[in-house]
Amino acid sequence: MTATTPAPSAPVAAPEPPVLAAVDVTKHFAVRSAVGARSVVRAVEGATLDLHRGRVVALVGESGSGKTTLARLLAGFYTPTSGEIALEGVPVRQRRGRVERSYHKDVQLIFQDPFGSLNPLHRVRHNLERPLKLHHGVRGKAELDRRVRELLERVALTPAEQYADKFPHELSGGQRQRVVIARALAVEPKVLLGDEPISMLDVSIRLEMLNLLDRLRTEDGLALLYITHDIASARYLCDDVVVMYAGEMVEGGPKEQVIADPQHPYTRLLVESSPDPGRGARDRDALFDADADGLGEPPSLIDPPPGCRFHPRCPFAMDVCRTQAPPRADLGDGRWARCWLHAADRTITQENE
């Protein structure tokens, strides 16, 4: 089931099969409270996602919506509770030892925090040489030196000789993140998962990082998953956008349509909450009856609300939203939303509007 590209005639549909696909993936964590009561955190529920060569998919949502859990599922750190992750059409099951390594030859993850994802005790060179040795059997000092230089130049850390022998603490946040990206590139993966790769960086260098990621996509044909809570950067970099709320995917489709004309109330709220100088302050108030600030917090994932998980905060909530989870409604052009407003019975929508 290729969910983000249902119609072959749609202009966004890539003809080739996805490199990495998650089909109906669910992840529950068992937790135990101090008194010993067991409970289950439903971190990700029924996530379906396709990553294609040379395309960037943005996964947006607020903190705690399960974005990182999904990234880590895709990176192979967790095994899904149910559902399936397929790499080039082959379902990935047990990931141990050699299988794990061959999986990671194709899928690499960039962590959010460039200050935490480099071992402070290793030089830049060590970080880049290890994947070269592990995955490409590169031996010999001269060859390693050449490849390390190449990698550093690709992420624009020049002069490369100077950076190769530095320790992480001698680099700035942006330089560290470049090293992290270079390290992932050293593997020559097909899929790059970016878990909020720019959120810890200074605003002034975010654009450079986005351009770097964009170059990797166009030049190397990487499939990119770009996780963020920043709609503006998603709009800048991505082709498709998928919106997550409380562990569920609520809307997806090509970026322009999703951002310019959000169909799910949560997406609207998200888009409206990103600053836009061209928009009047009134628009948002008009949309949400001036009480969007009072819409409350995201729900607990231990005890999510029944029905649609967004209904306690949704200005358009109906009776059916409180009892039944909405089905996925295809809206054409590769767009879809999981909302009763768009479910088969469109009359409800009209009445509401």
Partner 1 sequence: MRTGLLGAGLVRGWKVRVGLSVIGFFVLLALLGPWLTASIPGLDPRANDLTAIGQPPSAAHWLGTTQFGQDVLAQTIEGARGSLFVGFLSAVIGTALAILVGLPAGYFGGRTDSWLNFLSNLFIVMPVLPLILIVAGYMQGTGLWVIALIIGFFGWSGGARTIRAQAMSVSNRDFVLAMRTLGEPHHRLLFHEVLPHLTGWIAAMFLSGVIGGVMAEAGLAFLGISDSGAISWGTMIQAAQQQSAVLRGMWWWFVPPGLCIALVATAATLVNFGVDELANPKLRTVRRSVVRRAQAAETTVGSDA
Provide the binding-site residues for partner 1, judged by CB under 8 A. 75-77, 100-101, 104-105, 108-109, 111, 113, 116-122, 130-131, 134-135, 167, 169-170, 180, 183-184, 186-187
Q: Which is nearer to partner 1, 167 or 236 (CB)?
A: 167
Closest to partner 1 by CB, 186 or 337: 186
Nearest residue (CB) to partner 1, 105 versus 322: 105
The smaller minimum CB distance to partner 1, of residues 18 and 189, is found at 189
Q: Radius of gyration (Cα) for the chain, nearest Å?
A: 21
Q: Which is nearer to partner 1, 75 or 329 (CB)?
A: 75
DSSP state of 62: -
Nearest approach in angstroms of CB 191 to partner 1 is 12
Pick between residue 115 and residue 236 the one whose CB is nearest to partner 1: 115
Asked whether 318 and 349 are in contact (CB, 8 A), the reply is no
Q: How far is CA 68 from the centre of its chain?
A: 7
**Least Cβ distance, residue 116 to partner 1 (angstroms):** 4
Measured from the CB atom, is 119 or 172 closer to partner 1?
A: 119
Q: What span, in angstroms and rounded, lies between the C-alpha atoms of 22 and 33?
A: 31
3-class SS of residue 176: helix
Strand 223-228 versus strand 107-110 pairing type: unpaired
Give min distance, CB of 209 to partner 1, in A. 17
Find the shortest distance in angstroms from Cβ 292 to partner 1: 35
Closest CA to 266 of 189, 195, 196, 342: 342
Query: In the bound complex, what is the minimum distance in angstroms from residue 169's beta carbon to partner 1?
Result: 5
Residue whose tokens read 């975010």? 206
CB of 34 to partner 1, least distance (A): 19
Q: Which two tokens mark 274?
A: 């990103």
End-to-end CA distance of the chain: give it in Å, rounded: 32
Beta strands in 107-247 (DSSP E): 107-110, 191-195, 223-228, 240-245
Shortest separation between residue 176's beta carbon and partner 1, angstroms:
11
Decide: helix, strand or coil at residue 106.
helix
- The residues, any chain, with a CB within 8 Å of residue 190's CB and separated by 6 or more, are 19, 20, 53, 88, 106, 107, 222, 223
Q: What would the two tokens of residue 263 be?
A: 């169909």
